[in-house]
Amino acid sequence: MMRLLIVIPWSPFHVGLKDFDFAQMPERAPESMVALATFLREKGAEVAVADMQCHLLQCQGDTAQALQRLYAQCNEWKPEVIGFSFFTARLKPAADIFEGLRNHFLSHRLPLPLMIAGGVHATLLPQLTFQQIPFDALIVGEGEMPLWQLLRGEDMNEIPGVVLPGANRITPPQVVEHLDELPPADWSLIDFPFYTQPAHLISSGRLDAVLPVTFGRGCNYRCNFCAHACFLKPRCHSAEGFLRKLDAYAAQCHVNTFLLQDSSIGNYKKEWAAVCQALIARGTPYRWWANLRANQADREFLELLKRAGCIKLFFGFESGSQRVLDRMNKRITVEQCRETARLCHELDIPFYASFIVNYFGETEEDLALTEQLILQTRPTSVAVNTFSPIPGSKDYDAHRDEIVPHLNSLDDWTMLGCLYSQLYFSHLPKERFDYWRQRLRNLRQTINAHEDSD
């Protein structure tokens, strides 16, 4: 078997960041990559992880120093394959690390390892990824099976999910049907105490150690602005399988608070209810927060979540205008948002509500309705996001020809991936849009400041 090093690029926002305070800006541990490495190791492969997001923060934002750590790891580990994992928001960091690594191997006259990539960006835009970074191969979709086959030395042309430069045919990605068959992440593969430092919990102002955990993959919905449903078929763990994972994480990392990464726990309502029942039967040993859709929240379910340890819920209410919600294909109603908020207040479940401005065809009236919904629903905290057509979303596909001419560099792509593009889609004069966005941001600040002082 070939020896693998998985590289997790840093966030572009952490470059040059000197006085990083984990308690104020907790970074999320890369669960999916640590789990992928664990799976491969259990299959007999030799795998290490280079967690560049951690290295960069520990090096006070100094990329040269963070790269020195990576080179030292390569000198010691001697990888034959280096696998990059990134979504569009980390494209430029991935390119910079790739370049640094290649120069390191060439200048030390070391044989170049096979340089490959996987993850959301490579999956969504394989041909473009090859143009942006000259990888030897890409793996589209879930990495477990194809990467194992590759490390075992199988012919890359024959492995479903592997894409080679210039290939005009892309084989269908492979899917792990039964998530319970995957081992829980072995966190010793990275510097996990970095991520389990007590951090500011958005939910309650308490400082707590937290780990991310995934119950299922994929999403049943297809909101036009979102890339979540891009490639993972919806499926989840069994209650027993998931509790095994929680227990393993708690024992290894000494945490009892978890952040559910799933698109919505309501997508697997029956299965998540079984998890809740099992947690309650054990005396509710863990606290957790999760995403949920407004159309999936009813009193019985919310009561169950609360009894099972839920300390906060995250909702994408997105807009107070039904017209805009429908245009987004969000498949919720404004009334469902109001009713969900009412139930959360009644059951005393803190909740975060996220809104989008700058959506196609949005008018001043739509923005006024969003303000009204924020005031009516009184979320514990609020986010006001400026819409960017993220690669992998239906909106990106539908408007690609308008968007791509504005993307002149890897930095532009990266900023689009971070939802920081300067593209403007609202249907009102720009100065009125700026006025409304500022007004909603001020409202958000007032609400969030109130939460922080609780």
- Asked if residue 382 binds ligand B12 (CB under 6 A), the reply is no
- Asked if residue 119 binds ligand B12 (CB under 6 A), the reply is yes
- Asked if residue 11 binds ligand B12 (CB under 6 A), the reply is yes
Find out whether 387 and 357 touch, Cβ atoms under 8 Å.
Answer: yes
Tokens 């109130």 label which residue? 450
Interface segment toward ligand B12; rule CB under 6 A; list 95-103, 114-122, 237-245, 446-454: 114-122
* Closest to 123 measured CA to CA, from 108, 138, 107: 138
Q: How far apart are CA 389 and CA 359, in angstroms?
A: 9
Which pair of tokens denotes residue 330? 């969000």
- Asked if residue 228 binds ligand SF4 (CB under 6 A), the reply is yes
**Total of residues contacting ligand SF4 (CB under 6 A):** 11
Find out whether 303 and 354 touch, Cβ atoms under 8 Å.
Answer: no
Q: Which residues pair with 211 in a beta bridge?
A: 258
Q: How far apart are CA 334 and CA 323, in angstroms?
A: 10
Interacting residue with ligand B12 among 26, 79, 83, 266 (CB under 6 A): 83
Q: How far apart are CA 183 and CA 215, in angstroms?
A: 13
Interface segment toward ligand SF4; rule CB under 6 A; list 110-118, 203-211, 223-231, 421-429: 223-231
221 binds, among ligand SF4, ligand B12, none (CB under 5 to 8 A by kind): ligand SF4
Least Å distance, CB 348 to ligand B12, is 26
- Asked if residue 85 binds ligand B12 (CB under 6 A), the reply is yes
Secondary structure of the chain: what % helix, strand, coil (to 5)?
A: 45, 15, 40
Interface segment toward ligand B12; rule CB under 6 A; list 25-33, 185-193, 300-308, 331-339: 25-33
Q: How far apart are CA 440 and CA 350, in angstroms?
A: 20
Directed axis angle between helix 269-281 and helix 299-307, to 10°?
40
- Asked if residue 124 binds ligand B12 (CB under 6 A), the reply is yes
Binding site residues, ligand B12, CB under 6 A: 11, 13, 28, 30, 32, 36, 83, 85, 87-90, 116-121, 124, 139, 142-144, 147, 214, 217, 226-228, 232, 261, 390-392, 417-419
Binding site residues, ligand SF4, CB under 6 A: 219, 221-223, 226, 228-229, 263-264, 293, 316
